[in-house]
């Protein structure tokens, strides 16, 4: 079910056809955050393709997003694994065949779960790094020839977990730190051919799959400087800005959308240190 609707255009700061003629290529587009990013771009005139592993879920989400704007074209390509660059390359070929070009790329496919270091297996760590970091590299690699043609832009969905030591998120923090470094390097390398690269780093965004899994404790919203959790629309607004002409001189940045929460150490002390002592003590089982 779509989160945004035509009221986003009617009540928005953005012009209605801002992205008319543009095409967005989105990994993880059937998920909560990347879906709403796609909805915003489509409502403002873009066509899009969303990629995912689940065929039915991805195709259904594409149909619903397409219905948001008369005349919109949104492809849902399932059975795509971002860990396999050839899988993404086939999706790129299909996109160009059906939609003609690629202007904007959102690398948003990700994996996450809570685990302390002692019980985080090597395979689990590798799996998250492969999806988040290798998947982001593969997405950029597979789309580059098309993005270079349009002098387009990349947007990598990152996080704030590596700005400080966050317990139970060793795997994701390491992967997202790599995503930031990847985006920064691409901004420098691809800038001379007219391609921009930025990251967006969501904080605690209510209504998302990650929020449901990771938000623990009480009154967490009161510990955000702006005194509320973020919304997917907050992420959509920042996404529109970074792809818009207003950001034509913005590249190599990390746009943090978290209400200022990372400045106060996030929410780590909900589990620190008691849970970590329990999980990592001499009597605990370790997993390889």
- Asked if the model's pLDDT at residue 146 lies above 90, the reply is yes
> How confident is the model at residue 269, as a pLDDT?
58
pLDDT band at 271 (very low <50, low <70, confident <90, very high): low
Residue 114 included in any domain: yes
Confidence of residue 208 (pLDDT cuts 50, 70, 90): confident
Give a yes or no: residue 133 inside a domain.
yes
pLDDT beyond 90 at 210: no
In a domain, 3, yes or no: no
- Which of 146, 20, 8 is closest to 73 using CA atoms? 20
pLDDT in tens, 77-125: 999 999 999 999 999 999 999 999 999 999 999 998 989 999 999 999 9
**CB neighbour burial string for 195-227, b if at least 16 within 10 angstroms, e if fewer:** bbbbbbbbbbbeebebbeebbeeeebbebbeee
263 in a structural domain? no
pLDDT (0 to 100) of residue 85: 98
Domain assignment present for 2: no
Q: Strand 104-107 and strand 74-77: pairing?
A: unpaired
- For 155-187, what is each residue's pLDDT tens digit? 999 999 999 888 889 999 999 999 999 999 999
Q: CATH number of the domain that 187 lies in?
A: 3.40.50.720
Give a yes or no: residue 4 inside a domain: no
**112 touches 213 (CB < 8 A):** yes
Q: Is the pLDDT of residue 288 over 90?
A: no
Q: What is the mean pLDDT of residues 3-23?
A: 92
What is the set of active-site residues?
158, 176
By residue range, what is the domain housing residue 202? 15-258+269-280
pTM: 0.93
Structural domain total, the chain: 1
Q: Which residues contact 10 (CB under 8 A, 6 or more apart)?
A: none
pLDDT at residue 214 is higher than 70: no
The confidence score (pLDDT) of residue 12 equals 83
Residue 77 covered by a domain: yes
Q: Does 126 fall in a domain?
A: yes
Q: What is the DSSP string of 144-187?
A: HHHHHHHT-EEEEE--STTTTT-TTBHHHHHHHHHHHHHHHHHH
Predicted pLDDT of residue 1: 66
Q: What is the CA radius of gyration of the chain?
A: 19
């Amino acid at each position: 079910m779509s989160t945004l609707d035509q009221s986003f255009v009617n009540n928005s700061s953005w012009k209605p056809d801002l992205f008319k003629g543009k095409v967005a290529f989105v990994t993880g587009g059937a998920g909560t955050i990347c879906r709403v990013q796609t909805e915003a771009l489509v409502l403002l005139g873009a066509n899009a393709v969303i990629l995912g592993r689940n065929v039915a879920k991805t195709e259904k989400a594409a149909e619903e997003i397409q219905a948001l704007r008369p005349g919109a074209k949104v492809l849902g390509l399932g059975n795509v694994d971002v860990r396999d660059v050839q899988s993404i390359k086939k999706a790129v070929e299909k996109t160009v065949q059906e939609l003609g070009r690629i202007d904007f790329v959102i690398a948003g496919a990700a994996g996450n779960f809570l685990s302390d270091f002692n019980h985080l297996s090597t395979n689990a760590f590798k799996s998250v790094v492969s999806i988040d970091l290798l998947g982001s590299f593969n997405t950029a690699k597979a789309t580059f020839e098309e993005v270079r043609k349009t002098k387009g832009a990349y947007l990598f969905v990152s996080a704030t977990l590596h700005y400080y030591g966050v317990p139970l998120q060793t795997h994701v923090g390491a992967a997202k730190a790599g995503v930031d470094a990847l985006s920064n390097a691409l901004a420098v390398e691809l800038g001379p051919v007219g391609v921009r690269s930025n990251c967006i780093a969501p904080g605690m965004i209510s209504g998302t799959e990650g929020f449901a899994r990771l938000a623990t404790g009480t009154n967490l919203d009161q510990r955000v400087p702006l005194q509320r959790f973020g919304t997917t629309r907050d992420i959509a607004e920042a996404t529109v800005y970074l792809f818009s002409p207003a950001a034509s001189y913005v590249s190599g940045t990390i746009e943090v959308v978290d209400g200022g929460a990372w400045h106060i150490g996030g929410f780590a002390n909900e589990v620190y240190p008691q849970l970590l002592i329990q999980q990592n003590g001499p009597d605990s089982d370790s997993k390889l």
